[in-house]
Amino acid sequence: MNGIGLATKIVNHEVNKAGLVDLIGEVGEINVQGEAQQKLDLMANHTFIETLSKREIVCGIASEEEDSFISINSFDMQNKNKYVLLIDPLDGSSNIDVNVSVGTIFSIYRRVTPIGSPVTIEDFLQKGRNQVAAGYIIYGSSTMLVFTTGKGVNGFTLNQALGTFYLSHPNIKQPEDGAMYSINEGNADFFTTGLNNYLRYCKAGDDDKMPYKARYVGSLVADFHRNLLKGGIYLYPKSAFDRQGKLRLLYECNPIAFIAEQAGGGESDGKGSVLDIEPTELHQRVPFFTGSKNMVKKLESFLKIDD
């Protein structure tokens, strides 16, 4: 966490001055996800990898921006490092150029292969239930680090002048109900019937319920953070053109799901917890829904007809 805190301060500094020092825009490369990499995607990726691999604790890193996992000091038999890190270095790339909140998401597991040997893919393809810690950083109107080690969720705000994190949001609990829904509804023509029925329910009002407010930043971290504090639901479903959804199980869904669960919120791939999925590949995508517990339950009841 110390290393993550340091990398956060560096990335925060770069994100803040991006418009001044030519750090905005694409680099001209396509990553393994098929996305155009932004300069800040690469800067954040490099910063987290360099900072964490210098510590005697992490033995391997997998990143959204890397084709394969990175093994750290793999041939040093004295290497006692026992944790692997999985990371979405810069979440919400499409918002960089327009000064809208972006984030970082990370997930930490204990390695399953013997200490002192090179890491293997097995160390990374663990189900989300095995996470020992997970968190995100939001580079927003203020910069916050929110994380869990499985004993609740705490949020720390960065004092930029002093470079210190303050426990500003102890023991975060997500409201069990909410009145906001967050989805890229532009894709609605390509969603399933159950999902579209649910969206109609969100927009309908009656004596018991006002229509929900639509709120969509387009950065998972920012949308999740708002719904975590205020109540609401975030949806990234499968569609006719994204059969598996868009979000990455290992770098985005599992860490966010672990935090949601620890804050008393809900999370699902539409049928059950994403934390129970046995991953089959590093860059695997899944449909993902997370938010206030009762809202996620309600959504699941609508999705039953899609089976």
**Under the rule (CB under 5 A), what is the footprint of Mn ion?**
35, 64, 88, 90-91
Question: Is 25 among the annotated ligand-binding positions?
Answer: no
Q: Cβ 96 to ligand AHG, closest distance in Å?
A: 9
Q: How many CA atoms lie within 13 A of 192 on its CB side?
A: 21
Question: Is 90 among the annotated ligand-binding positions?
Answer: yes
Among residues 180 and 220, whose Cβ is nearest to ligand AHG?
220
Question: Is 92 among the annotated ligand-binding positions?
Answer: yes
Strand partners, 266: 291
Q: Report the alpha-carbon distance of residue 135 to residue 129 in Å, rounded.
A: 14
- Residues in Cβ contact with 270 at an 8 Å cutoff, skipping those fewer than 6 apart: 237, 238, 287, 289, 299, 300, 303, 306
Q: Cβ 32 to ligand AHG, closest distance in Å?
A: 11
Residue 265 contacts which entry, ligand AHG, Mn ion, none (Cβ below 5-8 A, type-dependent): none
Which residue has the CB atom at the shortest distance from ligand AHG?
A: 184
Burial of 57 (0-12, 13-18, 19+ CB in 10 A): middle
Question: Is 252 among the annotated ligand-binding positions?
Answer: yes
CB 240 within 8 A of CB 231: no
In which element (H, E) is residue 165 found? strand 164-169
Residue 269 contacts which entry, ligand AHG, Mn ion, none (Cβ below 5-8 A, type-dependent): none
Question: Is 239 among the annotated ligand-binding positions?
Answer: no
Binding residues for ligand AHG, rule: CB under 6 A, are: 35, 64, 88, 91-94, 184, 218-220, 246
Residue 131 contacts which entry, ligand AHG, Mn ion, none (Cβ below 5-8 A, type-dependent): none
Residue 246 contacts which entry, ligand AHG, Mn ion, none (Cβ below 5-8 A, type-dependent): ligand AHG
Q: Cβ 275 to ligand AHG, closest distance in Å?
A: 19
Among residues 69 and 212, whose Cβ is nearest to Mn ion?
69
Among residues 84 and 183, whose Cβ is nearest to ligand AHG?
183
Among residues 60 and 92, whose Cβ is nearest to ligand AHG?
92
Q: Cβ 213 to ligand AHG, closest distance in Å?
A: 18
- Residues in Cβ contact with 226 at an 8 Å cutoff, skipping those fewer than 6 apart: 180, 182, 215, 217, 232
> Distance from first CA to last CA of the chain, Å, rounded?
41
Question: Is 64 among the annotated ligand-binding positions?
Answer: yes
Q: Check residue 19 and report its DSSP letter.
A: T
Among residues 49 and 202, whose Cβ is nearest to Mn ion?
49
SS3 (DSSP) at 163: coil
Question: Is 94 among the annotated ligand-binding positions?
Answer: yes
Q: Which two tokens stand for residue 121?
A: 């893919």
